[in-house]
Structure 1
Amino acid sequence: MTKLHFYFHDIVTAKNPSAIQIAQANNTFQSPTFFGLVRMMDNPLTVNPEPNSKIIGRAQGIYGSASFEDIGLLMTLNLVFTNGKYNGSTLSILGHNQIFHEYREMPIVGGSGVFRLAKGIATAKTYQVDNTTQNAIVEYHVVVLHY
């Protein structure tokens, strides 16, 4: 069992965004939940919440607004570790993320390298969000069982 703690930086509005919109439905922006909005991400994972904190990896994948009733994202991503003893290893997440709930959990459905045959849970808590820019910093705690 391995426990990890890091921060996920979702930068939508900046000179060099880490998450970009790749699709939307014709009526996405008339929906109160932005249903149909899809973004591709390559977000930095850092040791501390500050953007200039040490980078330990990237969250690479896709998320989309998949709920008519609340802002609930379908998240499919790989946590790609690029530094330290997990360098070259990945964890795969596939789950539902209700971003306005204080505490969210998503399943770890696999992994590679050190995390071969992984299963576990990733919990997310918003550390900081700017509703105007949609940029967010999210604190993650991961508990994973692996070979």
Structure 2
Amino acid sequence: MTKIPPLLATQVIVLSLLSSFSIISVQGKNPGVVRTKLLGLKKEEKLSHFRLYWHDIVSGPNPSSVAVVKPVTNSSTGFGFISMIDDPLTEGPEMSSKLLGRAQGFYGSASQKEAGLLMAMNFAFIQGKYNGSTITVLGRSQVFNKVREMPVIGGSGLFRFARGYVEARTHYFNLTTGDAIVEYNVYVLHY
């Protein structure tokens, strides 16, 4: 067994202590409170709940969802397809109800064995105090489940630093056209 000379052992211990003191002094110069004030965050987070309806229109002369990549195989799940969306978000399930914003992003079939979509979209609001703010949803949606839960991973405007989740429930689906209306309940923590 090799012995470490006492001088070398002492030097290693002294260097370790000095480096830990330098880390502490660097952290002490810029405390988190200063950063919080610079970012303009308020002290308390709020929990907001929104219920809105997502209209995915793939048929007709003016679709809000357009396939940009076709599946490369003839799988039953459509594995590999991708659609870009600019879907209306409304207050009620009827397309004639008040327009609250748009769901902009994409979804694609990410499962070879079941109907599972990767959803990446921003809920861009156009009404009231949330006008110009967005909530970002990124997650997996198993479309044949009664309730699908996906995370809220961020936002902008009044939803900066947002986090939370959405619950999606199919309200209507037309097997012939592929058009769908999905109820989204959004639970979001924000400042």
TM-score band by shorter chain is: over 0.9
The Cα shift of 1:84 comes to 1.5
- Where does residue 56 of structure 2 map in the other structure? 10
Query: In the aligned structure 1, how far is the partner of 2:190 from the partner of 2:175?
Result: 37
- Specify every segment of 5 or more residues in structure 2 that has no aligned partner in the other structure, as ranges: 1-46
Q: Report the residue type matching 1:45 in the other structure.
A: L
- Where does residue 110 of structure 1 map in the other structure? 154
- Where does residue 126 of structure 1 map in the other structure? 170
Q: Which structure 1 residue ranges, 4+ long, deviate > 2 Å from structure 2?
A: none
Aligned residues: 145
The Cα shift of 1:26 comes to 2.6
- Specify every segment of 5 or more residues in structure 1 that has no aligned partner in the other structure, as ranges: none
TM-score (structure 2 length as normaliser): 0.75
- Where does residue 136 of structure 1 map in the other structure? 180
Name the structure where helix makes up a greater proportion of residues.
2
Q: How does 1:1-147 map to 2 (within 5 A)?
A: 1-27=47-73, 30-147=74-191
Q: What are the superposed Cα offsets for residues 95-117 of structure 1, whole Å, 9 maximum, x if unpaired?
A: 00011110000000000111110
Query: In the aligned structure 2, how far is the partner of 1:77 from the partner of 1:10?
Result: 13
Larger Rg: 2
Q: What are the superposed Cα offsets for residues 70-124 of structure 1, whole Å, 9 maximum, x if unpaired?
A: 1100000000001112110000011000111100000000001111100000100
Cα contact 2:162–2:190 (8 A) shared by 1: yes
TM-score (structure 1 length as normaliser): 0.97
Aligned-residue CA RMSD (Å):
0.7
Give the SS at the match of 2:129. helix
Among all aligned residue pairs of Structure 1 and Structure 2, give the percentage whose two residues are the same amino acid: 51
